[in-house]
Amino acid sequence: MSDAPQPRPEDPTVEQLGEFELIDALTASFEQGEQVLVGPGDDAAVLRIRTGHVVVSTDMLVEGRHFRRDWVPARDVGHRAAAQNLSDINAMGGRAHSLTIGMAVPADLPVAWATEFAEGFAEECRAVGASVVGGDVTRGDQLVVSVTVLGACTVAPVLRGGAEAGDVLALAGRQGWAAGGLAVLGRGFRSPRVLVEAYRRPAPPYDAGPEAAAAGATAMIDVSDGLLSEAGHLARASGVRIDVRTETLEVPEPLHAVAAATGSDPLRYVLGGGDDHALLATFPDAGSVPAGWTVIGAVSQGEGVTVDGAPYDGPTGWTAF
């Protein structure tokens, strides 16, 4: 029997390629920013932190729970994984600069899928100038992606618990689009395409977080699970009541089309939908709300969240359990 190395197939799986070759293939997509002293390849990354507050967040995507490969191309899964983490730093009023990725991958996962994921992840990171500085891969029964992101706030981070009675509630970014896309995909369709693309690839308002912090936002949160759900987190953390006014909410025409086809209310996608990664924040008054934000409600004494002054009995957002 010959000891000569056997040629790899043209489209190898990760098992056929090997762990360290897979890491090399993934890290080839990740450029390093000026804050990175030591990037992928050592036991840990080394970063240069100049000024401000360091902010850190971790999030996960599990195949079958947070995405399906037959619904979302690998490159777009990469965009989604990066966006949901970059948006958490945005929601603190900061800017992400470094990320690490942990991946558990089935042995039969095509290498091409993994490298396209990395390319999409890197493209999303470039939108804010962030670098992937390390991570890990291991074998798993299902595809799991865990991302840790680090960023910096040049002013005091904006927390969830600072809203006060008399503040206004404002929204930045599109809302309800991804939920509409999910509804379309769940019924086996691919149209309206603009909603499907919104679900596959979020478009967080990355400049809005730092702008809100500089303008004096009193509380802020990323809308990852649902507008009313996140408003509830702000209300609970701040010990206030928040009322959302539906006449202020934009309901785009494609959502009306989906609602008509499914016999539902288009507002349910806006009020209860997640995955767009819009920002929800409170400000002392309407005059302090930056351009690009829309006032959609008010803060008062009390507790909980209401819609147009009354309790809401529809879906408020995604829950993990």
Residue 309 CB neighbours (<10 A): 9
What pLDDT score does 28 carry? 78
The residue with greater pLDDT, 36 or 173, is: 173
What pLDDT score does 24 carry? 78
What pLDDT score does 18 carry? 77
Question: pLDDT class for 39, splitting at 50, 70, 90?
Answer: low
11 assigned binding-site residue: no
pLDDT of 7 > 60? The answer is no
H or E element in which residue 46 lies: strand 46-47
Can you tell me the mean pLDDT for 116-145? 95
pLDDT of 164 > 80? The answer is yes
What pLDDT score does 30 carry? 74
pLDDT of 81 > 80? The answer is yes
Q: How far is CA 212 from CA 17, 94, 255, 257, 287, in A?
A: 46, 10, 28, 33, 12
Peptide bond into 5 cis (omega under 30): no
Question: pLDDT class for 3, splitting at 50, 70, 90?
Answer: low
108 assigned binding-site residue: no
126 assigned binding-site residue: no
256 assigned binding-site residue: no
What pLDDT score does 320 carry? 61
Give the angle 25-28-34 at the CA atoms, nearest 5°. Answer: 150
160 assigned binding-site residue: yes
Give the angle 8-14-16 at the CA atoms, nearest 5°. Answer: 30
51 assigned binding-site residue: no
320 Cβ contact partners less than 8 Å away, ≥ 6 residues apart: none
pLDDT of 211 > 90? The answer is yes
Burial status of residue 145 (CB atoms within 10 A of its CB: 0-12, 13-18, 19 or more): buried
243 assigned binding-site residue: no
How is residue 178 written in tokens? 């991804």
Structural domains of the chain in order of their starting residue, each with its CATH number: 14-153 (3.30.1330.10), 160-307 (3.90.650.10)
Measure the CA–CA gap between 258 and 254, rounded to whole angstroms: 6
Ranges 23-32, 96-105, 107-116: which has the least confidence: 23-32
Residue 113 in 3-state DSSP?
A: helix
Measure the CA–CA gap between 27 and 41, rounded to whole angstroms: 9
Report the candidate in 210, 124, 200 with the shortest Cα–Cα distance to residue 172: 210
Can you tell me the mean pLDDT for 188-192? 91
H or E element in which residue 36 lies: strand 36-38
222 assigned binding-site residue: yes
Q: How far is CA 101 from CA 86, 105, 125, 276, in A?
A: 13, 12, 12, 21
pTM for this prediction: 0.87
88 assigned binding-site residue: yes
Question: pLDDT class for 201, splitting at 50, 70, 90?
Answer: very high
Can you tell me the mean pLDDT for 315-320? 78
42 Cβ contact partners less than 8 Å away, ≥ 6 residues apart: 134
H or E element in which residue 177 lies: helix 177-186
Q: How far is CA 12 from CA 6, 54, 111, 244, in A?
A: 13, 40, 6, 51
76 assigned binding-site residue: no
Can you tell me the mean pLDDT for 27-36? 77
Can you tell me the mean pLDDT for 37-53? 70
Can you tell me the mean pLDDT for 280-303? 98
97 assigned binding-site residue: no
Measure the CA–CA gap between 55 and 57, rounded to whole angstroms: 7
What pLDDT score does 2 carry? 47
